[in-house]
Amino acid sequence: MTQLFGKPLVTQEAMRSRIKELGKEITHDYQSQDLVMVGVLKGAFAFYADLVRAIRLPVTVDFMIVKSQPNQRKLSGKVKVVTDLTEEVKGRDILLVEDIVDSGLTVQYLTKLLSKRKPRSLRICTLLSKPARRQIDVNVEYIGFEIPNHYVVGYGLDYQQQYRNLPYLAVLDPKGMDAE
Ligand code: IMP
Ligand code: MG
């Protein structure tokens, strides 16, 4: 598997130390709050598991399974919620945990959806951000890494449901790295 990808874009070591920092920051920011961490599956599963263990606070874990709808998504940003939260979030402090913010459409959609449930606060934490691809100006409070405009896999991220278990982040087609 490793041979398919050349050099990691983000190594396991870099991932580990950045997630530790994020955990400290979140621990500091959420003192005395009622933190509910909402993982967006499937992509966020690996990041989520590492991040939650880097946070030294009482935390409620919960998840949403979403599927983007390829044909409509580009226009509307509509994503299909396949499995919703199990917890009541009214009056609580939601931290939405994403794998990657690309156009921003998914995060915008989920933010709108969750806001309707009247949480006390709602912030976004993403492992990766591709600023060059942003179509919507979403406010992302916690960002692991800003990356260039390449399609990446590993560490939870997939290409056609494969490579999620790659333990580091890699560019899918390293030969295409210079192409747009
Ligand atoms: P957005 O709605 O355009 O921000 O896209 C977010 C979703 O697209 C992510 O949650 C991923 O599922 C997927 N995605 C975007 N870029 C990549 C990538 O480089 N690799 C894998 N999945 C990606
Ligand atoms: Mg995702």
Quote the CA–CA distance of 180 and 177 in Å, as a whole number: 8
Structure tokens at 99: 């794998």
Of these residues, 62, 102, 137, 173, which one is catalytic?
Answer: 102
Give 85: exposed, middle or buried? Use CB within 10 Å, 0-12, 13-18, 19+.
middle
The pTM of this model reads 0.93
The answer, yes or no, to whether residue 77 has pLDDT greater than 70, is: no
pLDDT at 91: 98
What pLDDT, on a 0 to 100 scale, did the predictor assign at position 39? Answer: 98
Q: With 70 as the cut, is the pLDDT of residue 87 above it?
A: yes
Segment (H or E) for 143? strand 142-146
| pLDDT at 23 exceeding the cut of 60 | yes
Right CATH for 5-175 from 3.40.50.300, 3.40.50.1820, 1.10.3430.10, 3.40.50.2020: 3.40.50.2020
Question: Residue ranges of the domains in the chain?
Answer: 5-175
Ligand nearest to the CA of 65: 2
Give the model's pLDDT for residue 95: 98
Q: What is the pLDDT of residues 145-167, one digit of tens each?
A: 999 999 999 999 999 999 999 99
Give the closest residue (by CA) to ligand 1 atom 9: 100
In the chain, DSSP finds a helix count (H) and a strand count (E) of 4, 8
Is 102 one of the catalytic residues? Answer: yes
